[in-house]
Amino acid sequence: MRTLDLETEFKRLEELILNSQTFFLAGHLNPDGDTIGSMLSIGSVLKRLGKKVRLFSQDPVPENLRFLPNVRAVRSRLPKGKFDAAILLECSVPSRGGALEPVLKRCGQVVNIDHHKTSEFYGDINIVEPHSSSTAEIVYRLFYNMNVNISRREAACLYTGMVTDTGRFHFPATSPRTMQVASRLLETGFKFSRINDLLYATKACEALKVLGRALGSLEFKAGGKLAVMTLTLADFKEFDARPEHAENVINYGMMPPGVKATVMFREEAGRISVTFRSRGHLDVSLVAKTFGGGGHRNASGCRVKATLKEAQGKVIPVLIKLLA
């Protein structure tokens, strides 16, 4: 991965924000708490600075995140007109955000903000920090550098990004700095316990049924080191469920004793979404990258254009080889 002077990139972004008036913000497909939380917080700060902002997500905001402030500002239709700058969040490549090319051609500069080590340096400004727990943590650093006083609503959005992407501060990417940032966010006075309750103690019936089906499919490979789960289109149709209802299901695959890695195959129209988790130094991002995806060492994903059986036949052997 290329390296850049992050401080220089932060300063360039600060100058771009101060000298620009119109912004297009977009996150990755199937958006999560980090993508949406970061987008909403940046959008809010830019508006307070007197800027015009359009927020975009090709896929709808998941139900469990619709409590976030100003979430209705996130649109699924590409805007018209020109923009001084585009800020892409957690998009390792622009296509990770969907069909963005028509808009990016109308943007003066493109900013890439990401914390995945597989991110490509496609932006005019690239703030890629793999050691950060989340994109929200990077965004907080931007605000800190700019001497922005974060509002309670903005803090709630950033906290949501951090708490979801760290698995409630459980994943290895959580650092002392992560906890310091979380502490500063809490000082704004937003109701973090309510956010935790909505995120982790509230689950749609469809999500519970999808979880049950995934656990029912659980099987083990590589002498119990690899857990495999499968969800088909028929499963989602049966429960009238959507892809967002499978969020975090993958983490249950890591619970059985002896499991070092887990993979979940989720059938989509014409392709298979594959999600990976692992422990310790086992780098599943290498497997994801093999199939055109990416992510973190212990949490990655990709999409494979194949049938369910074909995707399993391609991916599982690579995982078993990695475990060996």
Instruction: Supply the mean pLDDT for the chain.
Output: 95
pLDDT for 4 beyond 80: no
- Is 217 within the bounds of a domain? yes
- Is 220 within the bounds of a domain? yes
In 3D space, the residue among 269, 268, 265, 267 whose CA is nearest the CA of residue 287 turns out to be 265
| Residue 187 DSSP code | T
pTM: 0.87
CA distance 37 to 18: 22
Starting at the edge strand that comes first in sequence, how are the strands of the sheet with 226-231 ordered?
Answer: 219-221, 226-231, 261-268, 271-278, 299-304, 294-295
Looking at 152, 172, 199, the residue that finishes a domain is: 199
* Domain CATH for 241: 3.10.310.30
Task: Please report which confidence band the pLDDT of residue 1 belongs to, taking 50, 70 and 90 as the band edges.
Answer: very low
Is the domain of 241 the same as that of 121?
A: no
Count up the domains in the chain and report the number. 2
- pLDDT per residue as tens digits for the range 154-175: 999 999 999 999 989 988 889 9
Is the domain of 224 the same as that of 311?
A: yes
- pLDDT per residue as tens digits for the range 43-93: 999 999 999 999 999 999 999 999 999 999 999 999 999 999 999 999 989
Alpha helices in the chain (DSSP H): 6-19, 33-48, 101-104, 135-145, 152-165, 176-186, 192-200, 205-216, 233-239, 285-290, 308-323
